[in-house]
């Protein structure tokens, strides 16, 4: 008897992580089938993905885009086209779905990630913003439903791989003293503050090691990506902030490390290719081929490390302060950052003004307990509104 194929829904399938996920799935046609695909507005890309992967359901967030996709597919494609949040809910909660790749960018990914957690699915979490914003709610939903949360962010995936397993085979903290979160330092690692003031979106998006979507590329340049990942690590592994240390490692070969009380430090190494953590998430607890070339350590020849410079990169400090404040502060920090990054990409805000805007927003908002999705979403919209007002003034 052949085993049933695992049914996977890919949210944000037309993005950088989505495309890499479908690449790994296509390498294992006997093991995985695509149940649902979802994208924002890129009709042509989603149409091509429907032809290649024959999903049961395809979701476009925009009504007009959904209509155009339906017209392209015609009535007999075998794929149902749905629209908006309702469509997302369908492809994450459907009985047949085993695993959900959460790879929408930004706060927009929170409701669907939370729905997958409440439905007890296996969640492959790339959308770090949902954890930063609603960590309390998401982790609680995972605990209550028995969902499996597998980190796809390369650093957290590395930490997951280096953590000791508890009796359920889940990562535990037995004997762990610290987590070392590595950072590439981004394209501006060696730039002076003055030079960064005039940085353009193209320069910020030219990451030395990784090819990624534009929002996370800007976050990597400002080190807010590391700030968000710092918060993500605290939630995922139940760590206090003192137990997470950021280390700059420009080659991006070590993806993060776990330090133990006996003096051991375990690291996960690999070429910087997101298909490795994606394959780890898809196959877990087994290992499956990812199409990634093995490491050639002799060719790499050296690995460097340095401390992060928080004076030039204040985003890291802002993220740490948000964890210390707690409550909705992390959601506010994330929302203000999303507004600032969009304005920077739009040519309306200077690069070094990104942390200034976030700090101004954090100083002005009232932080509350993140008791429900509604409370978190309200904090998110208030922060966006305030950031937009500050931008306009
Ligand atoms: P991307 O911009 O390349 O793709 C984003 C995807 O989300 C697209 O498919 C887009 O259609 C969809 N989308 C955008 N807005 C949406 C909305 N409002 N509703 C529904 N779908 C929407 O982004 P990416 O680089 O693939 O990153 C995706 C997520 O993964 C981000 O949270 C990012 O931080 C995280 N991540 C990415 C990488 C990477 O290497 N790219 C690494 C680690 C973590
Ligand atoms: Mg990362």
Q: Give residue-wise pLDDT tens across range 190-231.
A: 999 999 999 999 999 999 998 999 999 999 999 999 999 999
Of ligand 1's listed atoms, the one at least distance from the Cα of 41 is 11
Q: Give residue-wise pLDDT tens across range 338-388.
A: 999 999 999 999 999 999 999 999 999 999 999 999 999 999 999 999 999
d(CA 199, CA 4): 51
Is any ligand 1 atom within 6 A of the Cβ of residue 267? no
Average pLDDT over residues 305-309: 98
Residue pair 226/183 in contact by the 8 Å Cβ criterion: yes
d(CA 308, CA 279): 30
CATH superfamily of 6-151: NAD(P)-binding Rossmann-like Domain (3.40.50.720)
d(CA 122, CA 9): 11
- DSSP string of 359-387, one letter each residue: HHHHHHSPP----SHHHHHHHHHHHHHHH
In the predicted structure, residue 251 carries a pLDDT above the cut 70:
yes
Domain ranges of the chain: 6-151, 154-271+294-310, 326-393
Residue among 373, 379, 383, 393 at smallest CA distance from 339: 383
Average pLDDT over residues 172-181: 93
- Please list, in sequence order, all residues whose beta carbon lies within 8 angstroms of the beta carbon of residue 170, skipping any fewer than 6 positions away: none
What are the backbone dihedrals phi and psi of residue 231, each rounded to the nearest 5 degrees, phi first?
A: -65, -45
d(CA 220, CA 184): 8
d(CA 62, CA 154): 30
Q: Report the separation in Å between the CA atom of 201 and the middle of ligand 2, taken as the mean of its atom positions.
A: 20
Residue pair 76/131 in contact by the 8 Å Cβ criterion: no
d(CA 316, CA 230): 8
Is any ligand 1 atom within 6 A of the Cβ of residue 105? yes
Average pLDDT over residues 22-32: 98
Q: Which residues pair with 283 in a beta bridge?
A: none
Q: Report the separation in Å between the CA atom of 38 and the middle of ligand 1, taken as the mean of its atom positions.
A: 11
Among 9, 16, 42, 133, which is best to mutate for testing ligand 1, by the most ligand atoms less than 8 A from CB?
Answer: 16
Element (H, E) at 102: strand 99-102
Is any ligand 1 atom within 6 A of the Cβ of residue 278? no
Strands 148-151 and 122-125 come out as parallel
Q: What is the DSSP letter of 291?
A: S
d(CA 321, CA 329): 9
Of ligand 1's listed atoms, the one at least distance from the Cα of 14 is 9
CA distances from 255 to 124, 149, 170 (A): 17, 19, 20
Q: What is the pLDDT of residue 93?
A: 98
CA dihedral sign, ordered 157, 94, 59, 337: negative
SS3 200: coil
E strands present in 164-229: 176-183
pLDDT band of 265, cuts 50, 70, 90:
very high
Q: What is the DSSP letter of 95?
A: T
Q: Give residue-wise pLDDT tens across range 87-126.
A: 999 999 999 999 999 999 999 999 999 999 999 999 999 9
Is any ligand 1 atom within 6 A of the Cβ of residue 88? no
Among the listed ranges 24-28, 175-179, 206-210, 239-243, which one has the minimum average pLDDT value?
206-210
Q: Give residue-wise pLDDT tens across range 131-158.
A: 999 999 999 999 999 999 999 999 999 9
Is any ligand 1 atom within 6 A of the Cβ of residue 126? yes
Is any ligand 1 atom within 6 A of the Cβ of residue 129? yes
What is the pLDDT of the chain when averaged over all its residues? 96
Which ligand places an atom closest to the C-alpha of 128? Answer: 1
Of ligand 1's listed atoms, the one at least distance from the Cα of 16 is 26
Instruction: Provide the 10 A C-beta neighbour count for residue 134.
Output: 32
- Among 1.10.1740.10, 3.40.50.1820, 3.90.550.10, 1.10.443.10, name the CATH number for the domain at 326-393: 1.10.1740.10
Of ligand 1's listed atoms, the one at least distance from the Cα of 108 is 18
């Amino acid at each position: 008897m052949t085993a049933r194929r695992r049914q996977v829904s890919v949210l944000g399938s037309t993005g950088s992580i989505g495309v890499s996920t479908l690449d790994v799935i296509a390498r294992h046609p006997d093991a995985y089938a695509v149940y649902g695909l979802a994208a924002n507005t890129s009709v042509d890309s989603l149409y091509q993905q429907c032809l290649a992967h024959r999903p049961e359901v395809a979701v476009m967030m925009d009504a007009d885009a959904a209509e155009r996709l339906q017209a392209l597919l015609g009535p007999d494609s075998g794929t149902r086209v749905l629209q908006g949040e309702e469509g997302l809910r369908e492809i994450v909660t459907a009985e047949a779905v085993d695993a959900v790749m959460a790879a929408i960018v930004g706060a927009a990914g929170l409701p669907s990630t939370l729905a997958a957690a409440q439905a007890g699915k296996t969640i492959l979490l790339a959308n770090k913003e949902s954890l930063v914003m609603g960590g309390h709610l998401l982790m609680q939903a995972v605990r209550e439903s028995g969902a499996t949360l597998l980190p796809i962010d390369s650093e957290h995936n590395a930490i997951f791989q280096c953590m000791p397993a508890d009796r359920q085979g889940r990562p535990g903290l037995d004997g762990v003293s610290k987590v070392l979160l590595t950072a590439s330092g981004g394209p501006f690692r060696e730039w002076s503050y003055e030079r960064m003031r005039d940085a353009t979106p193209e320069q910020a998006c030219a990451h030395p090691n990784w090819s990624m979507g534009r929002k996370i590329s800007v976050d990597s340049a400002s080190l807010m990506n590391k700030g968000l990942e710092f918060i993500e690590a605290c939630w995922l592994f139940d760590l206090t902030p003192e137990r997470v240390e950021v280390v700059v490692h420009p080659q991006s070969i070590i993806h993060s490390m776990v330090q133990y009380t006996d003096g051991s430090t375990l690291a996960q190494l690999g070429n910087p290719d997101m298909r490795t953590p994606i394959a780890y998430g898809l196959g877990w607890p087994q290992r499956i081929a990812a199409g990634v070339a093995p490491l050639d350590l002799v060719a790499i020849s050296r690995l460097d490390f340095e401390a992060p410079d928080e004076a030039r990169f204040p985003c890291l400090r802002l993220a740490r302060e948000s964890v210390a404040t707690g409550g909705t502060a992390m959601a506010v920090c994330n929302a203000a950052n999303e507004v600032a990054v969009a304005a920077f990409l739009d040519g309306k805000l200077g690069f070094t003004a990104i942390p200034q805007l976030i700090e101004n927003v954090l100083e002005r908002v009232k932080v509350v307990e993140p008791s429900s999705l509604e409370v978190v979403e309200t904090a998110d919209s208030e922060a966006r509104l305030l950031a937009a007002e500050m931008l306009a003034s």
